[in-house]
Amino acid sequence: MAEPSFSLRTPDDDNQPRRICDNCGFVAYENPKIVVGSVVRHEGAILLCRRAIEPRRGFWTIPAGYLELNETPEEGARREAREEAEAELAISRLLAVYSVPRISQVQLIYRAGLKQPGFAAGPESLEVKLFRFEEIPWNELAFPSVHWALGHDAEAEAGAPPAPFANPAGETGSHMPDGGRVAPGDA
């Protein structure tokens, strides 16, 4: 059997250049990554994790990460909370769907509570802590979508309709709320 050899070209029935096997014609499609996560509330406070990994090590985030194969988004969100915060979640509903095209991500963010009160830093977190909304370290949040999710969760908490939120108008995840540009390698 010949070693695979790929070249970039546009298939006859397509309009995008794709990696195509020169031997058999297999098209290696590259698709966006799906991120799942949760805004977790417990006794009026929000669970945040200080990242122990790059990108944005040392910054605060909600428990979130990539969806695995053969996993529902809800299962993925619960798994990420176990991995990052050793927390067991009770998911209540989908909060938001965000698009971050500069890094080819679609993010599904849920509203959740703790099934039981315990949590601790997992291997991907330096620390895990509950914050009242007014205590959130806004200037130390890792990503634009964390800002969006926390703001949208506050709107949901205040009674906004249960339809999922989306990116703020004109936002694509390339800038932080203070106007600072997000580096290309930062998720």
Give the chain's domains with CATH numbers: 1-30 (2.20.70), 33-157 (3.90.79.10)
Which phi and psi angles does 173 have, rounded to 5°?
85, 15
Which phi and psi angles does 52 have, rounded to 5°?
-100, 5
Confidence of residue 70 (pLDDT cuts 50, 70, 90): very high
Tokens for 62, please give them.
């909600």
Beta-bridge partner residues of 51:
125
Residue-level pLDDT at 112: 98
Query: For the chain, how long is the longest CA-to-CA vector?
Result: 62
20 to 2, 4, 30, 125, 144: CA distances (angstroms): 15, 10, 11, 39, 35
Q: What is the dihedral of CA 94, 68, 32, 46, to 10 degrees?
A: 40
pLDDT over 70 percentage in the chain:
97
At 125-163, the pLDDT tens digits run 999 999 999 999 999 999 999 999 999 999 999 999 888
Token pair 């070249």 is found at: 7
Strand stretches in 10-88, DSSP E: 18-21, 27-28, 33-42, 45-51, 60-61, 64-66
**In the predicted structure, residue 7 carries a pLDDT above the cut 70:** yes
Question: Is the model more confident about 161 or about 66?
Answer: 66
Which residue type, as a one-letter code, is found at position 134? Answer: E
Determine the Cα–Cα distance for residues 88 and 83; give it in Å rounded to an integer. 10
At 171-184, the pLDDT tens digits run 888 888 888 888 76
Mean pLDDT of the chain: 94
pLDDT over 90 percentage in the chain:
81
Q: What pTM was estimated for this model as a whole?
A: 0.87
Q: What is the mean pLDDT of residues 22-49?
A: 95
Cα radius of gyration (the chain):
19
Residue-level pLDDT at 184: 66
At 101-113, the pLDDT tens digits run 999 999 999 999 9
**Residues 6 or more apart whose Cβ sits within 8 Å of residue 169:** none
